[in-house]
Amino acid sequence: MKFKPGDKVRFLNQSGGGIVTKIISPQMVSVAIEDGFEIPTLTNELIKTESQDAGGRFFDKDYKVSMPPTGSENANANDQKSALAEEEEHERIFAIKKGKGAEASSVWLAFIPHDQKWLITGLMDVCLLNPTHYDMFFSVLLRRPDNQWSGADYDVLPPESGITLATLSRDELGDWLEGVVQMLFQKELQQKPVMPANAAFRLKPARFQKEDNYIENAFLDEKALLVNLALVNSKEISPEQTEGAEPSFESRVQTPKPKALIDKHRIAPFEAEVDLHISALKDDYSKLSNHEILKIQTDYFQKCLESALEAQYRKIIFIHGIGNGTLRNTIVEMLKEYEELSVQNASFKKYGYGAIEVVNQRPE
């Protein structure tokens, strides 16, 4: 349900209600209650009571909460609202540290846990990071369950800064697993123009359940799960191209993706073969226990699988070898979390009983 300042609301999970005073994020608003306090409240815990339908009339009640005067009642009201909006906008935009090399030339989506000791629980901020030297006009679209796209946010992000797009509970993370970020880069003076970028992202829920995925980084004081959206590159445009002609395809600035881990195992276009034998992963494993060996193998399997999905690979062969079946059974169990993947024995002629074939049935 959409709310706006001035809406009369009632709490669903407790008695009482109040009036919406400001929008904190798409999922949270501030509600003024009768005793004068303002309470940040999730929108899914509120119901609007000024509706004319039966439900609205049932919950309707006068909470005697006053709102700031508007219109002709106060000539300064619009100025106050404008100042408040600017203050709120300033609060959600923050400075970030300077990265180096490709890091500083990329745009990032960051998921930052509020509790840095317990990274896989509690609230989380979704932020967009712009470490480049360009002002960035952006728009964020999210895919809905009905396969429609909804606009989540849009704004202008200054150079070397970040912006908080939303604050989510873990139950709300599903709304941010798939989306598109559209970006336009601007400088007052540019010798090398940068073309717009259109970056799609798709994340697996399992990524948010591993503490190792929240890393220390060049931009923030906090650990965060980072998604590289675009490498901001530039290229000279010749005088001939500026004389009323559209630049040729070859002259257009591209936004190449960083090299994926799975690419080192590529055997054909969008196909890979990953050897999970411990001898292929570790030079010296003589002092490792069976448990330690299995952990190294399954961790590498998980990283390669996630990398393959992000790089839109269609088929991955995982060579597990012929042993007591522990590694095979473990990775097959892990694969059950991925509905879009089908699993079968790999070619017996080539691998015997020592490999499985994973097929992505929904590559982009």
What burial class does residue 274 get, using C-beta atoms within 10 Å of its C-beta: 0-12 exposed, 13-18 middle, 19+ buried? buried
Closest listed residue to residue 314, CA positions, set 357, 353, 344, 258: 357
Q: pLDDT tens digit string along 281-331? A: 998 888 999 999 999 999 999 999 988 888 888 899 999 998 888 999 999
Q: pLDDT tens digit string along 109-153? A: 999 999 999 999 999 999 999 998 899 999 999 999 888 999 999
Task: Report the pLDDT value the prediction gives residue 364, as an integer from 0 to 100.
Answer: 52
Domains of the chain: 8-67 (2.30.30), 89-258 (2.60.40.1600), 263-360 (3.30.1370.110)
Q: What are phi and psi of 47, to 5 degrees?
A: -135, 135
- Mean pLDDT in the chain? 80
Distance in angstroms (rounded) separating the CA atoms of residues 79 and 85: 10
Residue 364 Cα distances to 220, 310, 340, angstroms = 31, 10, 12
Q: pLDDT tens digit string along 206-234? A: 889 888 889 988 899 999 999 888 776 54
Residue, of 293 and 259, whose pLDDT is higher: 293
Maximum Cα–Cα distance across the chain: 84
Instruction: Read off the pTM.
Output: 0.47
Residue 137 Cα distances to 5, 64, 184, 201, 283, angstroms = 26, 41, 5, 18, 48
Task: Report the pLDDT value the prediction gives residue 182, as an integer from 0 to 100.
Answer: 94
Q: What does DSSP assign to residue 136?
A: E
